[in-house]
């Protein structure tokens, strides 16, 4: 187990290097002048452009730039953006909100998704199963922003149960609906994965044995069936934490939440790559680390899986 | 007819038998035909010009002569919604085609060659998967799109199609790769190789036909999700732009008017969702019919 974890950690390094290089390359090397529109209608003075290019080392070859990026990232120095505001401070303001939103979304996915999957899997073909299957199909088909706008329009504008936009402090109560919207797609996937594995495992030998031993139905389901059926759903939830963060871009846009997504999006619109690069790199890191953690969790959930 | 051929036919035959008894399959098929006709011949559904704008009627609610009302520019929402089908279908289909070509070729090469080519392609795929979808699209489109000045409709759509395909191929590579690896060790492939068949013959005659089912199912669902992705990118302002007519743009243009004129947004959103739903339903119906485990 220990050796496996170390090997996986080492394998993470080339993927991380490759991905961050890709991001750096795409952002800094593709044609287009980041300072073209920074001075309003006029062209920027040459002195400004050359000073900026020097400060952000844009005249250096890509590999040198990338090396600076890595060095700064490892020493925890995220630098300043084009307006000379510290990137770290902006991140510190935005992170807590997005983390809160993402955690609530994961909670929705895990609790509602797994519960719906288990219920429909146990009563396969029944009324509840059909209702859940149809609603997950709808959730899978509605793009996240459509769900968002519909709920905003219905609950916020028509019924006035919620405030259509979230206030800057983003208290938990105001984040419930945005978190549900963010979770909707993965929630449907989780429910379906759980249902499929419950249906498959109900026919397995160990469940038959447990029933034959005279165990109560409750114990068979809760102890034997659930533990084995939850693995795919948990894997999925873990691997999707990373994409949840980027999905937050859309959700935060709809409900006007000042989190990482909003920060990233305005940075893209302003062509301020000094924020885009570290934020996307951090998101990728989160994504890869959660994937690793999920893989390591396998063995805890299913002792039959052995690491080599 | 050779034996391999007959076997393939009987799989499709089986699948068809199951499919034709499923209500959901027929519903999605009818909807699919409807959307395809809408995309090919929009004039069958409306005689109004989607570009014709009458500012005086801006944001007029639905009425008898304009079923879906008017948008911000005073254009007929119904006509624009009908014409939007073409854009969505083209973007979804071409992007999926690109994904299948890129991912399929990479997957077949990775699985067939194995060794270092396999690890290399798999690692590269992981790098692309490491960048979450929306994020990758934002990075590419945010840096590429401003470069074009006065782009034509084809250029705007082309960039979005390429970005969707470039970001989507690793998933398809995995599917194609595992399908080919499974088939590679089957006796009929070994036999073909023993008889002296070259790699191209083995891949095209034996491996591909047997890997087709999972790829087909995945691509049908992917067309749906790409249509949704295109709308999401357009909503964020980095996907399609005017003069292209698309549901995503229509929604994006009217998000700020959700309190006063939701009709200009809700109708395109309904068509968009229904279109995505059609492809997802169709793909799932075929998948369930192909997969004996779920029966």
Is residue B129 predicted with pLDDT exceeding 80?
no
Contact A243, A153 (CB under 8 A): no
Q: How confident is the model at residue A34 (pLDDT cuts 50, 70, 90)?
A: low
Is residue B289 predicted with pLDDT exceeding 90?
no
**B137 Cβ under 8 Å from any chain A Cβ:** no
Q: Nearest residue on chain B to A33, judged by CA atoms?
A: B147
A306 assigned to some structural domain: no
Q: Do B284 and A137 touch (CB under 8 A)?
A: yes
Which residue among B127, B147, B262 sits closest to A22, beta carbon to beta carbon?
A: B127
Find how far residue A144's CA is from the centre of its chain: 13
- Residue A150's pLDDT is 85
Q: How far apart are CA A223 and CA A153, in angstroms?
A: 43
CA distance to partner chain A, nearest, from residue B281 (Å): 8
Is residue B143 predicted with pLDDT exceeding 80?
no
Is residue B230 predicted with pLDDT exceeding 80?
yes
Of A74, A104, A123, the one marking the end of a domain is A74
| Domain span holding position A54 | 2-74
What kind of fold does domain B3-294 have according to CATH?
MetI-like fold (1.10.3720)
- Residue A1's pLDDT is 65
Of A74, A108, A131, the one marking the end of a domain is A74
Query: Which residues on B lie below 8 Å from A245 (Cβ)?
Result: 132
Q: Do B132 and A283 touch (CB under 8 A)?
A: yes
Average confidence (pLDDT) over B181-199 = 79
Continuous segment of H or E residues that includes residue A203: none
Same domain, A41 and A183: no
Average pLDDT over chain A, rounded to whole?
A: 80
**Six-digit token string for B23:** 């209500």
Burial zone of A88 (CB within 10 Å; 0-12 exposed, 13-18 middle, 19+ buried):
middle
**Six-digit token string for A77:** 């120095």
Is residue A230 predicted with pLDDT exceeding 80?
yes
Which residue among A14, A27, A149 sits closest to B123, beta carbon to beta carbon?
A: A14
Same domain, A215 and A288: yes
Is the pTM for the entire model greater than 0.90? no
Same domain, A260 and A118: yes
Which H, E and C letters describe B140-191, residue by residue?
A: HHHHHHHHCCCCCHHHHHHHHHHHHHHHHHHHHHHHHHHHHHHHHCCHHHHH
pLDDT tens per residue across span A106-161: 999 889 999 999 888 888 878 888 899 888 888 888 888 888 888 888 888 888 88
Average confidence (pLDDT) over B79-95 = 90
- SS3 label, residue A86: strand
Is residue B36 predicted with pLDDT exceeding 80?
yes
Same domain, A103 and A134: yes
Is residue B145 predicted with pLDDT exceeding 70?
no
A307 assigned to some structural domain: no
- Residue A284's pLDDT is 78
Q: How confident is the model at residue B295 (pLDDT cuts 50, 70, 90)?
A: very low
Q: Nearest residue on chain B to A252, judged by CA atoms?
A: B236
**A183 Cβ under 8 Å from any chain B Cβ:** no
Q: How far apart are CA B159 and CA B233, in angstroms?
A: 12
- Residue B94's pLDDT is 94
Helices (H), chain A: 2-29, 46-55, 62-74, 87-108, 114-122, 127-141, 144-151, 172-201, 205-212, 217-219, 226-239, 241-254, 260-269, 273-301
A266 assigned to some structural domain: yes
**Higher pLDDT, residue A103 or B59:** A103
Q: Nearest residue on chain A to B121, judged by CA atoms?
A: A15
Same domain, A95 and A236: yes
- Residue A87's pLDDT is 79
- Residue B32's pLDDT is 92
């Amino acid at each position: 187990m220990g050796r496996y974890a170390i090997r996986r950690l080492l394998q993470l390094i080339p993927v991380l290097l490759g991905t961050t290089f890709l991001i750096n390359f795409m952002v800094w090397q593709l044609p287009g002048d980041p300072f073209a529109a920074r001075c309003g209608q006029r062209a920027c003075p040459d002195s400004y452009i050359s000073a900026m290019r020097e400060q952000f080392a844009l005249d250096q070859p890509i590999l040198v730039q990338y090396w600076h990026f890595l060095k700064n990232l490892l020493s925890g120095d995220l630098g300043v953006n084009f307006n000379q505001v510290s990137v770290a401070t902006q991140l510190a303001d935005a992170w807590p909100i997005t983390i809160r939103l993402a955690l609530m979304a994961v909670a929705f996915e895990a609790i509602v998704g797994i519960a719906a999957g288990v219920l429909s899997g146990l009563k396969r073909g029944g009324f509840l199963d059909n209702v859940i299957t149809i609603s997950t199909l709808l959730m899978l088909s509605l793009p996240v922003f459509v769900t968002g706008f519909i709920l905003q329009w219905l609950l916020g504008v028509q019924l006035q149960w919620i405030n259509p936009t979230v206030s800057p402090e983003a208290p938990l109560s105001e984040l419930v609906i945005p978190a549900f919207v963010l979770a909707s797609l993965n929630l449907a996937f989780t429910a379906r994965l759980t249902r499929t594995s419950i249906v498959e495992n109900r026919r397995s030998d160990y469940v038959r044995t447990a029933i034959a031993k005279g165990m109560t139905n409750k114990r068979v389901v809760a102890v034997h069936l659930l533990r084995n059926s939850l693995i795919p759903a948990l894997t999925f939830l873990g691997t999707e934490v990373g994409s949840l963060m980027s999905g937050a871009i859309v959700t935060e846009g709809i409900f006007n939440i000042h989190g990482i997504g909003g920060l990233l999006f305005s940075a893209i619109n302003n062509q301020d790559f000094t924020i885009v690069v570290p934020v996307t790199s951090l998101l990728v890191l989160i994504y890869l680390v959660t994937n690793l953690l999920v893989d390591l969790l396998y063995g805890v959930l299913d002792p039959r899986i052995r690491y080599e | 007819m050779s034996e391999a051929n007959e076997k393939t036919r009987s799989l499709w035959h089986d699948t068809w038998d199951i499919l034709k008894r499923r209500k959901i399959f027929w519903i999605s098929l009818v909807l699919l035909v409807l959307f395809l006709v809408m995309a090919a011949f929009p004039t069958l559904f409306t005689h109004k010009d989607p570009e014709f704008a009458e500012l005086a009627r801006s944001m007029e609610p639905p009425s008898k002569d304009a079923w879906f009302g008017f948008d911000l520019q005073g254009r007929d929402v119904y006509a624009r919604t009908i014409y939007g089908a073409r854009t969505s279908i083209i973007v979804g289909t071409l992007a999926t085609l690109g994904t299948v070509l890129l991912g399929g070729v990479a997957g077949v090469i990775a699985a067939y060659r194995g060794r270092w080519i396999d690890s290399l392609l798999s690692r590269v795929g992981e790098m692309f998967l490491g960048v979450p979808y929306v994020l990758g699209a934002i990075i590419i489109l945010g840096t590429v799109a401003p470069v074009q000045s006065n782009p034509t409709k084809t250029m705007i759509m082309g960039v979005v199609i390429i970005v969707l395909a470039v970001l989507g191929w690793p998933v398809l590579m995995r599917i194609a790769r595992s399908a080919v690896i499974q088939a590679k060790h089957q006796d009929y492939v070994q036999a073909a190789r023993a008889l002296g068949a070259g790699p191209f013959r083995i891949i095209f005659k034996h491996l591909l036909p047997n890997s087709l089912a999972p790829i087909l199912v995945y691509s049908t669902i992917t067309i749906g999700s790409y249509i949704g992705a295109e709308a999401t990118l357009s909503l964020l302002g980095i996907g399609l732009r005017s003069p292209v007519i698309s549901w995503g743009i229509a929604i994006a243009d009217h998000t700020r008017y959700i309190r006063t004129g939701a009709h200009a947004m809700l109708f395109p959103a309904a068509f968009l969702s229904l279109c995505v739903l059609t492809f997802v339903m169709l793909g799932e119906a075929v998948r369930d019919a192909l997969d004996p485990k779920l029966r």
